[in-house]
């Protein structure tokens, strides 16, 4: 997906391919349920969850995969063992197939992120 020009997350989700919309909607619901005190915004053409104006979590529908951006290095380090072997860049997990998304792991990452502020990458 080319960088979205959507003004809000509802508009963003309306643009994504149908086969990804269910997974992305579920991911959004999980973010909203777990990230208390965060604000949902659109930034860099994707949904971002900010605390005190700083993005800590984001997700996006890319051309070849769904990206989950975990922008907190401390949380990534804490979960290094669980993240080992997954398709991961510096700050994102990549899921090539929506049905392969590990929502339990993502929930745990969100809970750890929400627990306290930390340094972002």
User: Which pLDDT score is estimated for 2?
Assistant: 58
With beta carbons less than 8 A apart as the criterion, state whether 42 and 14 touch: no
Residue 28 neighbours by CB under 8 Å, 6+ apart: 9, 13, 40, 47, 59
Encode 11-38 in three state secondary structure: HHHHHCCHHHHHHHHHHHHHHHHHCCCC
Per-10-residue mean pLDDT of the chain, 121 residues long, equals 82 94 97 97 96 96 94 95 92 94 97 92 78
Domain ranges of the chain: 9-115
CA 13 to chain centre: 13
DSSP state of 88: B
| Cα distance between residue 79 and residue 30, in whole Å | 18
Q: Which two tokens stand for residue 18?
A: 């149908």
User: Which pLDDT score is estimated for 121?
Assistant: 78
| Cα distance between residue 20 and residue 26, in whole Å | 10
CA 74 to chain centre: 16
User: Which pLDDT score is estimated for 1?
Assistant: 53
pTM assigned to the model: 0.93
User: Which pLDDT score is estimated for 5?
Assistant: 86
| Fold that domain 9-115 belongs to in CATH | 3.90.1150
| Cα distance between residue 113 and residue 47, in whole Å | 16
């Amino acid at each position: 997906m080319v960088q979205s020009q959507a003004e809000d997350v509802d508009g963003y989700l309306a643009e994504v391919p149908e086969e990804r919309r269910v997974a992305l909607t579920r991911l959004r619901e999980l973010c909203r349920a777990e990230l208390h005190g965060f604000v949902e915004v659109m930034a860099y053409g994707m949904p971002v969850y900010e605390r005190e104006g700083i993005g800590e979590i984001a997700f996006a529908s890319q051309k070849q995969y769904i990206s989950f951006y975990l922008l907190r290095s401390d949380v990534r380090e804490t979960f290094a063992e669980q993240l080992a072997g997954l398709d991961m860049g510096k700050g994102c997990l990549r899921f090539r197939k929506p049905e392969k998304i590990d929502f339990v792991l993502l929930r745990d990452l969100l809970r750890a992120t929400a627990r306290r502020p930390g340094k972002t990458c």
